[in-house]
Chain A
Amino acid sequence: MFYNIGQIMMLFWRTIEAIPNAWLERKKVYDQLFEIGNASLLMVCILSLFIGGELALETGPTLVERGLSGVLGRMVGLSMCKELGPVMMAILIAGRIGSAMAAEIGSMRVYQEIDALRTMNISPVNYLVMPRMIAMVIALPALVIFSIPVGWLGGALVSSFNSSISVPVETFFHDLREGIAVSDVMHGLVKAFVFAIAIGLISCHQGLVTIGGPRGIGRSVTKAVVNSIVVILILDYFVTRFLIYFQ
């Protein structure tokens, strides 16, 4: 495990070293951005709508019963901003995009395409990893920005139409405006940024170390997704501690 962590840190460092070439590789970055956005935007919206709705559905009746219906908007809003938006989107991206990255790079490794790049003095980090990392750290926070208001909307709709809650949309959003600051949204975006680095690094690393043909590619994909999700949840705790400390 420590060997893998060391390798991932090395890859991170080499990716940072490659960033000055990002402008030259901008077409690959655009392609990856399109890939991530195109593959995920609709799913992000659907997922966020239902997460927001579910939050309201689970907590709304209890809050109303205790006379706290006025804080429902704030509760759904903060949960979406600080926790569920970034974490759920990161898990979604790890599953959809991280797996695709590991599979694509893994397949290139198994079928000697990466060896071919190296024989042409083309750095696989420059060519494959850096554009994906940059696209990931732009796309995931951007998707979280989409997911947060859609989640609020889901919460507002359920709060309004569910008979056991019946909090009007205006009341929901009034409370949400009162309780949410820009710093809360930034909190979620910082998390999304950190998760994006983790997903990109883990997925690209798994792809680059793939061995053993199609079965090896399958193993790499599974490892990339599982490891990404585990690391997202661990990082979530530490980033939250860090952000609370600086609040």
Chain B
Amino acid sequence: MSVAVRDLHKSFNGDEVLKGISFDVKPGETFVIMGPSGSGKSVLLKHIIGLEEPNSGEILIAGQSLHGSEVLKNYRVAMVFQSGALLKSLTVGENVGLYLTEHRLKDPDEVARIVAEKLEAVGLKGLEDRAPSELSGGMQKRVALARALVIDPQLVLFDEPTSELDPLMSVNIGEQIKLMRDRLHPTILIVTHDRDLAFGIGDRIAMIDEGQIRFIGTPDEIKNSRDPMIQKFIHAELTNT
């Protein structure tokens, strides 16, 4: 399932956050959007999932314009939020099975079976009855991933999937995304400033800065870019002098 973004502009209270963003994502591709904090990455993702309306420009999902239409309802699209965005009033199991129960796609026994299977897939077997607040940040993100897996998505959007996680958990989340990619072959868009994740998983990487695309290329191309901003971003390190 392809995604195309065409000359996207968005302002909040006169402050232009997106300044003419354009790019294409091919079906089955893992496309990573990197950039410093406040560069408009998450806002861009919210436009692609239809949570924000652009001031101008267009987003095409599988060739169909998103603007003013219900095109997303025709496809299995999931988003994993930075915070996980699990419903605190529900248990882990209810969160994972929410889509199936709310749309009445399966009977309760079948939902329970699918929930157990998806939780096992993300390494959280047997935690169905726990409250989200009882889980660590990394576990909550894995539950959110399981919730996305339930619909066997054709397009998955990740907003900072490894933020606030320790390095081991970040690697674990990256592995889970890879597993999902290998099993379901969805189109994946990841917003992150985690360089290891971006280079380890991305087919192509877009570097966004101050609301504009600065560079799009493969991980090798971006590593070899001569753009000083990109070099500074991907090689930034704290030195103990």
Contacts and interface: CB of A to CB of B under 8 A. Distances in A.
Interface of A: 24, 104, 107-108, 111-113, 115-122, 127
B86 to A, nearest CB: 7
B87 interface: yes
A112 B104 contact: no
Given A111-B85, A112-B85, A113-B87, A119 B78 contact: yes
A108 B87 CA distance: 8
Interface of B: 46, 49-51, 72-73, 77-79, 81-83, 85-89, 98-99, 102-104, 151
20 contacts: A104-B89, A108-B87, A108-B88, A111-B83, A111-B88, A112-B85, A113-B88, A115-B46, A115-B51, A115-B81, A116-B85, A116-B86, A119-B49, A119-B79, A120-B102, A121-B72, A121-B103, A122-B98, A122-B102, A122-B103
Contact of A120 (B51, B82, B89, B98): B98
Nearest to A126: B102
B85 A113 contact: yes
A24 B86 CA distance: 23
Nearest to B70: A121
Nearest to B98: A120
B104 A119 contact: no
Contacts of B73: 121
Contact of A116 (B50, B72, B79, B104): B79
A119 to B, nearest CB: 4
- Which residue, B73, B79, B85, B88, has most C-beta atoms of chain A within 10 A? B85
A113 B86 contact: yes
Contacts of B46: 115
Contact of B99 (A24, A107, A122): A122
B88 A118 contact: no
Contacts of B78: 119-120
Contacts of B50: 118-119
Nearest to B52: A115
A239 B37 CA distance: 53
A111 to B, nearest CB: 6
A113 B82 CA distance: 11
A118 B98 contact: no
B149 to A, nearest CB: 13
Contacts of A122: 98-99, 102-103
A22 to B, nearest CB: 15
A46 to B, nearest CB: 29
B81 A116 contact: yes
Contacts of B104: 24
Nearest to B90: A113
B99 A112 contact: no
Contacts of A119: 49-51, 77-79
A115 B102 contact: no
Contacts of B49: 119
A112 B81 contact: yes
A118 B82 CA distance: 16
Contacts of A118: 50-51
A174 to B, nearest CB: 50
Contact of A127 (B77, B81, B102): B102
